[in-house]
Structure 1
């Protein structure tokens, strides 16, 4: 018998488990694998953390709180988890507008600079934006070592008294009055409350919960660079955006190579299917290389390493953080759509607050599960 069971001990689940355990809740975390692992969305360090979002004040408030909580995790774990590299967001004004982001940044006191192509090339000679491109630079943004973050949460959660059940696939969730039974392939567990943070495996929890989450295969590559200006400490984290797609990346950290991935696109993946390795499709390397050749030509060298992970997309790419529509002692957190990791520290806190205080710590109407036309539960 547990106070809380967390189904899915990845980014959000492990954060929530740590928060609950340190507040004195008897907590069980259940994961189908052994986190941190290569089967979820946290695989392949690092992850960008930015504070200005096109989604507006809800995201900005969450990002600023997440930043505070990551710093607190660093202090508690004694590990370096967050690098203040700055983040350079390049965009084609013909395809994107950043005006609302500038306004929101100013309203929330977030430091930023608006740069033209000449200013970008002058400050970071390795970056070669086409004429007419512009950028929003956030000097206090940076990147997180995602797998180290999960490992730190795991260690601290267990020290605080949480239990972690690994390599245990959940086959069913059944509320009955004040209790919820969670079934794995071998055992049953009972709790007063349950948090579902199943990531790309949410579909396996149907029909108890039906969320319009589509899992997508995504690839990233690390490419050999030819100049120190592409190394950590010189090049900030970055994003590129134009009519052909959106990309994100990182400087070469410890000689690992410049990392780049594409945010949009991808091949749909179903739970239980094998995940095709990097190189299974010609565009795996081709699209990443073309983006580097266009914006960071000095980084378009030899492919040094690669990784495959998953996005769990909602139709509008906004998150789902809500109560189960029929069972208030079951909470839902999913659909983080490839841009959620930076918020994991704050999402875990929100889930723990909801358990402890019976209310959410901020207005989460943007993330309501009921906003979709598809029924959320049966």
Structure 2
């Protein structure tokens, strides 16, 4: 099979890129090891937060502002509700680097952000029970993205625009031909394209190693869970999403949506995983539930019993920033990995960015902070 552009990995970035490329007239084939959306990558679990005053660094804010517009456009084109602006509360000590950077990025880009003291948090969102020393920064325009719903929208629109998705087509190896084109070997045969975008999660390391490029990535098992909660106290109209730098670790959470319950996860921590190692189910480790229950008891005592827990994985860089680049010797091969557990909110803009880069020769953003060369 021959295509203009091959996208390897039809997860969030892959499907967003496939949609953007196909709508501009490129002949696109997407390859995936499963049938997306699925639980093999990093896009399952129903919801993700989207924040704009970004504690991970102001360098992300231009991407986030473009992403917001693209999420809104995807909603309009697909007819699917994808973005819920319920607000996000950033929590931490006043001297927390995370909270400091949230405020700094808001000032730099003129973003709406309200500094809220502990007593004010208790008054506005009484589900919280915070100890002395904690305060917050509330971002009213931030909120929740419906991740699996978004992938289905991209898939439908990409295929409508002419993209072809080959399910259960894991790529075993990549090779470059004498003209610079890319060939992917799969169980179903070889796929050839003039250019390729590699965004295959844990498989990116192995596939690039076969072309002489080493990525400093690690894979980490993560867990999250839903708890019973009163929608009158913790629904989206009265309880925002949150990102919290606590003594126990870095946690994130969501209001109870569509009767599913209150969702809570931990961003740091987790168990190291080898590439290809199966994910142990939620509950396989004592800390899976214990670390989440501890946060509920300490800070959200009105939350009820656990409903369900799930396992996922992060693919992390040493500095937890993204890698967005192209192969230094094979310039028709582009790659996006890894997003270190905070990438979904950017998927819409990363898809557009790679489409511009591959078709026009310019990504439209300064990607110097995200190049592989920063690791030496």
TM bin (shorter chain): over 0.9
> Residue 188 in 1 paired to residue 190 in 2?
yes
Is the counterpart of residue 260 in structure 1 residue 264 in structure 2?
yes
Match of 1:33 in 2: 34
List aligned pairs for 1:339-350, cutoff 5 A.
339-350=342-353
**Would you say 1:271 and 2:275 are equivalent positions?**
yes
User: Higher mean Cα deviation, 212-221 or 137-146?
Assistant: 212-221
Per the alignment, residue 74 of structure 1 pairs with: 75
Structure 1 residue corresponding to 2:371, chosen from 362, 368, 371:
368
Counterpart of 1:169 in structure 2 is: 170
TM-score with structure 2 length normalisation?
0.96
1:97–1:169: structure 2 CA closer, same or farther, 3 Å change rule? closer
2:358 aligned residue (352, 355, 360): 355
Residue deviations 1:240-297 (CA, integer Å, cap 9, x gap): 2123310001011122110000000111122322210000001101101111112211
Deviation digits for residues 129-176 of structure 1 (CA, Å, limit 9, x no counterpart): 111211010000001000000110000000000000011110111112
Contact 1:237 1:249 in 2 (8 A): yes
2:240 to 232, 236, 241: 236
SS in 1 for 2:74: helix
Asked whether 1:199 is paired with 2:201, we answer yes
Quick one: distance in 1 between partners of 2:296 and 2:254?
12
Unmatched tracts of structure 2, length 5 or more: none
Task: Give CA deviations for 1:62-104 in whole Å, capped at 9, x if unaligned.
Answer: 0110010000000110000000010001112354452333132
SS of match in other structure, 2:302: helix
Aligned to 2:323: 320
Q: CA RMSD in A?
A: 1.3
| Number of the residue aligned with 2:44 | 43
Is the CA contact (8 Å cut-off) linking 2:356 and 2:362 kept in structure 1? yes
CA distance in 2: counterparts of 1:56 and 1:281, whole angstroms: 32
List gaps (5 residues or longer) in structure 1.
374-378
Contact 1:96 1:241 in 2 (8 A): no
1:218, 1:310 within 8 Å by CA — same for their partners in 2?
Answer: yes
| TM-fit CA distance, 1:105 | 0.8
1:216-246 C-alpha deviation (Å, 9 max, x unpaired): 1111100112462112221110112123310
CA distance in structure 2 between the aligned counterparts of 1:101 and 1:291, rounded to whole angstroms:
22
Shift of residue 118, structure 1, vs aligned partner: 0.5
CA spacing shift, 1:93–1:57, aligned 2, 3 Å:
closer
Counterpart-to-counterpart distance in 2, 1:203 and 1:97: 29
SS of the residue aligned with 2:294?
Answer: helix
Residue 153 of structure 1 aligns with which residue? 154
Aligned-residue offset at 1:212: 1.2
Displacement after TM superposition at 1:309 (Å): 1.1
1:290 aligns with 2:294: yes
**Contact 1:95 1:243 (C-alpha < 8 Å) held by counterparts:** no
Seen in structure 2, the aligned counterparts of structure 1 residues 37 and 97 have a Cα distance that, compared at 3 Å, is closer
- The residue aligned with 2:339 is 336
Cα deviation for residue 39 of structure 1 reads 1.1
Which deviates the most, 184-193 or 224-233?
Answer: 224-233
1:372 Cα offset (Å): 1.4
| Secondary structure of residue in 2 paired with 1:351 | helix
Distance in 1 between the 2:106 and 2:294 partners? 31
> 1:376 maps to which residue?
none
Q: Is the 1:322–1:368 contact (alpha carbons within 8 Å) kept by the matching residues of 2?
A: yes
